[in-house]
Structures are given as structure tokens and as C-alpha cells.
Structure 1
Amino acid sequence: MSFGQGGPQWGAGGGGTPDWSAMAEETARSRRRRRRWLVVGGGALATAAVAGIVAIAVVSESGGGSGASDKPSEALPSPEDLPSSPGPEPSFEKDLPPAPPEDYLNSPKKDKAPLSEDTLFPSKTVTVNGKKYRLAAKDSTKKCEEATQAGLGPVLRKQGCGMVFRATYQRDTLAFTLGIAVFDSQAKASEVKADYVPNIASLAGGDVPAYCRTVTCRTTVNALGRYAFFTIAGHTDGKPAPESDKKAVEAALDGSDFGYARILQRGKDQAEADAQSG
């Protein structure tokens, strides 16, 4: 007798005795089949578990996307995480820069600092363009024409000259006299420069005799603000100073540069004083 698949089978000898040998072989085959399925099934589960771990690792490294992440490795703090107290506020200088010196030099309404030969020529020695000069004499006059010779007097009178300040500086046997004429506007000083006719009269004093009165000398003219200024330079021993006399030419130019610097400094001083006070 036999059962269907997997049932007991009777041996060929009959008599109702089971075929124990066949049954043992069938049982062994069933066990072997189960072991194979367990091995195969267990391998599949292990493969699935490894795949899951890999997937988790990929997701963690990619930030949840399929591509590389642009985000920084450390997250920026949110506005809520920032300190609530404000940082230091920027500071600004309250002091304004001084106005241009010309603002004071152009008009007597702003050019109010004391004005005299002592404020214009305070030093006994000056160095101009690398050369040292010694102060020999200085003066001032409201009668502007008295400080001139030849044709300069009428030019000053026409523009309403208020005062002329003069100073003579000496270097070896050379000397220059600087004359600064004051007007009530920049326009008038500019007109004097444009209409200039020589020349300022040299000023004698100390070791410097009257010079450049009867011989040729070097002269200059310029203007700054409401001031026109002039120089005359030559030899203190009475020698003439023609155009070819380079030393006399340099002395005249040094005097002009010195005059420009003194007037400009006057404007700077007033501008700085106003900036500090206000």
C-alpha cells in the first residue's frame, strides 16, 4: 500500500509490513530539502539586510538626495540662535575738516585774524628752497604808494590798496624785499597782478643799505586771495642784476615763494582755528 506523495509505502513483499527502508530515505530527502530552503532563504534575508544598511549609509552621506550635497558640513545658526544684544555701533568723527584756506583769504568778512608785519614776518631767519635768509628790516604803511617806485603806485591806488607790508631778507651779498599789498576783494588783487608795472621799493635796514634803486634788479608779482605780492632782488654792493644773473633770479623767486607760503599759512591758521572751535 502506498500513500500519495510523502505518504508511507508498503514493500513489494506485501503482508502489510511497511517498507521502513524507503520511509527512512524519504524522510532524509525531506530534511535535505528543508535545509536547502533554509540556506537559500537565510542568504536572501542576509542580502536584503546588507542592502538596507548600504541604503541607509547612502542616504545619510548624501543628505537625503541622490546627488552630492552643496550644504556646509556644519549648519549655520538660525536667527533665533544669535545673541539678542546688538553689537557696537560704528563711530564717526564729529570734527569737520578745515575749510580751504582760500575761503578766508578771499574776503575781509572771513579774513579777520590780526594782520601786521609781525604776524606776516615773525621769524628772524627763514629757509626757502634750501637756502637760509636773515631778516634785515620790516615795516608797514597805509600809504601804499610810498612803498613803491616807478609805475606800481598808481596800479595799487586804482584798486584801492589798503596797506603794504614789507620785509627785506639777506643772504651773503644778495637781498630780496617782499611787499604784500592788501585789498578788499580777490578780484582787485587779481587786477593788480594783471596790470602790474615794476616795482616795489627795496627796504634798507640792518646790514642792508638802500639797494636796487638806480640799477637793474630782478622782480616778481603774484596774487593769492585778496593779497597781491611783489619782490625785488639784487646785490647789496650796488652791482646790477640782469636776467643772466641766476643768483639774483633765484633770490627773487625765493622771495615770491616765501610770500605765497606766508599768506597761505594765514588762511590755514584761520581755517583750523574755526574747525577746532566749532
Structure 2
Amino acid sequence: MSFGGPQWPQEPQQHGQQQPYGQQPNPFPGAQAPQTPDWGALADASAAGRRRKRWLVIGGGALATLVVGAIVATAVVSSGKGDETAKNGSVTPTGSAAPSDSATPEPTFSSVAPPPPPNPKDFISNETKDKAPLSAEGLFPGKKLTMSGRAYKKGATSSTTNCASVTQGPLGSILKQNGCDRVIRATYVKDGVAITVGVAVFSTEAEALKAKAQAKGGVAPLAGSGVGEFCRATVCLRRSNSIGRYAYFTTAGFADGKKVTTADRPVYEASDDLATFAFNQIYARGRTQASAAAAAPGE
């Protein structure tokens, strides 16, 4: 009878017959009977065999699982390569040369630096370059001006080549000695304060600088166009400055003839505003001419 594992061992055969299980009478009188098998040891041996077979089965299953896992991993890696190829385009075959970078031209730059832009001051520092038209309306356009939120109404304007004729005190002779070519004037008023600004034109910057350094007296106040006489036989504020070949002067005071003191802030503000405006207008001449020269460098 089989129990599913190794067959139970059988006793030795005698006279060609199978020995029955269990204790039998001794067939050989006078001789020692064969010993009965150790059935417990046989049972233990059979159980150990079954256990070995079971572990073999489990080990074989685990090995099969590892093999299947390796196959799946290989398939996943292969699939990933395929996706990457599809995403990034065709892969350059081994041994073939990659496309040359020379196919895309690189930008080139000139090693010669462009010339610097013209300096506006160069155009207002010498009459050989300062060729733009010059007039009273060009320097003082419109009917009013606003500086720092303060509005001034324009009065009369004038332009003359007789520089000394439109000055007070020693300034006339100083302008003449330094080669003054012309004086352009304009008067402005605001809240009872009147200011005349005069721009003296010279051939060079050096002449204008010298006239400014020597300046005494002032530009004569210009009445007219709604502005009465002012700064006659009274105290007024006189100032002078220069830029390029232009020297500019201001005479500021009260329209009613009142003397100006250091406490009269509106008079000082008006003088500063008109001097700043004159400076800006002269510099604008240089900037305009410099821009035109930059746009036509061959001329």
C-alpha cells in the first residue's frame, strides 16, 4: 500500500513469498529469529523525505517567479527605450557623425567701436559749429513760460548787435572789449515782479567766460507789451552766468519801483527761474545740432 512518498521498506523474502506484516513464529527452530524492523525510525525518515520534496517545490516556484520578474523588467526597459526614441526623434546610429555645428552661422561683430555721439556743448561753444538760426523768438518762444510750477507772462523782446546800448553801468564796455556780437532780451512778469533776461553772444567760449568773470552793472530792463518801466533809480537784483559762447544776465525787481532786499524771496525765485530757462534754451540749441550731426555723419 502506498502513502504518497517513498515506499515503505519490505522485509527480506523467504521461499519466494512476501513476509506478512506483524510478528510471526520463528521458521527456524533452534536459530535466532530475524529482528523486527524499527517502524518509528522508518516513519521519521518518510516524513523528512516529504519535507525535502515540499521545499524543492517551493524553491522551484520562487526561482520561476524571479525568472518571470526578470523577463518583465527587460520588457519594461525595452518599452521605455522605445518611448524615448519616439519622444526625442530618431537616434543617431552608432558610428555615424553628429550634425556639424557649422550648419548654423554664428553672429559676427565689428571690432571697430562706433564713434561717441556728438557733445551738444561742442556746438554752442564756437561760432564755426553753431550754425542754427538765432532770434529772440527762438530763444524765448510763446507768450508765457512755467518753471517749477510758477507761470510767467512774457512782455517785450529785442535783439541788437550794439551790445553796449542795452546795458547798465560798466557791463556795456565789458561786453564790447570781449567781442560781443549781439544781445537778445526778453521781459517776464509775475505777481508784481518783473525780470529782464539778456543773452550776449560771442564767437568763442573763452570770450563768454571772460565777460562773465568781469561782469559789473547789468542788462538794461526792457519795458513794453504791458510791462511798465522798472529797475530805474532803485535797487534791483542783477546776476550773470555763461554756457558755451553765450553769457546771460538777469535784472529783477518790483514793477512798482520798490527796492529789493535779501528778504524778498519772490524776486530771487524769479531771477533763478529765468536764468535756468535761458540756460535750458541755449543748451537745447546744442542738443538739436548734435542730433542732426549724428543722423548725418557723412556731412
Query: Does TM, scored on the shorter chain, surpass 0.5?
Result: yes
Q: Unpaired segments of 5 or more residues in structure 1?
A: 1-5, 64-73, 90-95
With normalisation by structure 2, the TM-score equals: 0.67
Determine if the alignment matches structure 1 residue 17 to structure 2 residue 17.
yes
> Secondary structure of the residue that 1:168 maps to in structure 2?
strand
Counterpart of 1:261?
280
Q: Residues 212 and 57 (structure 1 numbering): CA distance in 2 closer, same or farther, change over 3 Å?
A: farther
Quick check: 1:135–1:169 contact (8 Å CA) kept in 2? yes
Q: Which amino acid aligns with 2:60?
A: L
Deviation sequence 1:22-45 (CA, Å, 0-9, x none)? 9xx9x9999877654432222223
Deviation of the 1:18 alpha carbon = 3.4
- Equivalenced residue count is 249
Return the index of the structure with the highest Cα Rg: 2
Deviation sequence 1:170-225 (CA, Å, 0-9, x none)? 22432111000112222332222222212111112122233213211011111122
Counterpart of 1:252?
271
Q: Residues 168 and 98 (structure 1 numbering): CA distance in 2 closer, same or farther, change over 3 Å?
A: farther
Q: Which amino acid aligns with 2:250?
A: T
Between stretches 148-157 and 36-45, larger displacement belongs to: 36-45
Q: Give the Cα–Cα distance (whole angstroms) in 1 for the partners of residues 44 and 260 of structure 2.
A: 141
1:153 to 172, 183, 193: 172
Counterpart of 1:189?
208
Deviation of the 1:52 alpha carbon = 5.9
Deviation of the 1:100 alpha carbon = 4.4
With normalisation by structure 1, the TM-score equals: 0.71
Determine if the alignment matches structure 1 residue 40 to structure 2 residue 55.
yes
Deviation sequence 1:54-91 (CA, Å, 0-9, x none)? 78999999x9xxxxxxxxxx89968969xx9969x9xx
Q: Residues 50 and 191 (structure 1 numbering): CA distance in 2 closer, same or farther, change over 3 Å?
A: farther
Q: Residues 50 and 184 (structure 1 numbering): CA distance in 2 closer, same or farther, change over 3 Å?
A: farther
Q: Residues 105 and 59 (structure 1 numbering): CA distance in 2 closer, same or farther, change over 3 Å?
A: farther
Q: Residues 173 and 30 (structure 1 numbering): CA distance in 2 closer, same or farther, change over 3 Å?
A: closer
Counterpart of 2:27?
none
Q: Residues 98 and 127 (structure 1 numbering): CA distance in 2 closer, same or farther, change over 3 Å?
A: farther
Q: Unpaired segments of 5 or more residues in structure 2?
A: 1-7, 23-38, 78-83, 93-97, 108-114
Between stretches 46-55 and 170-179, larger displacement belongs to: 46-55
Determine if the alignment matches structure 1 residue 138 to structure 2 residue 157.
yes
Identical counterparts, % of pairs = 35
2:262 to 243, 249, 267: 243
Deviation sequence 1:146-179 (CA, Å, 0-9, x none)? 1211111232223221211111112243211100
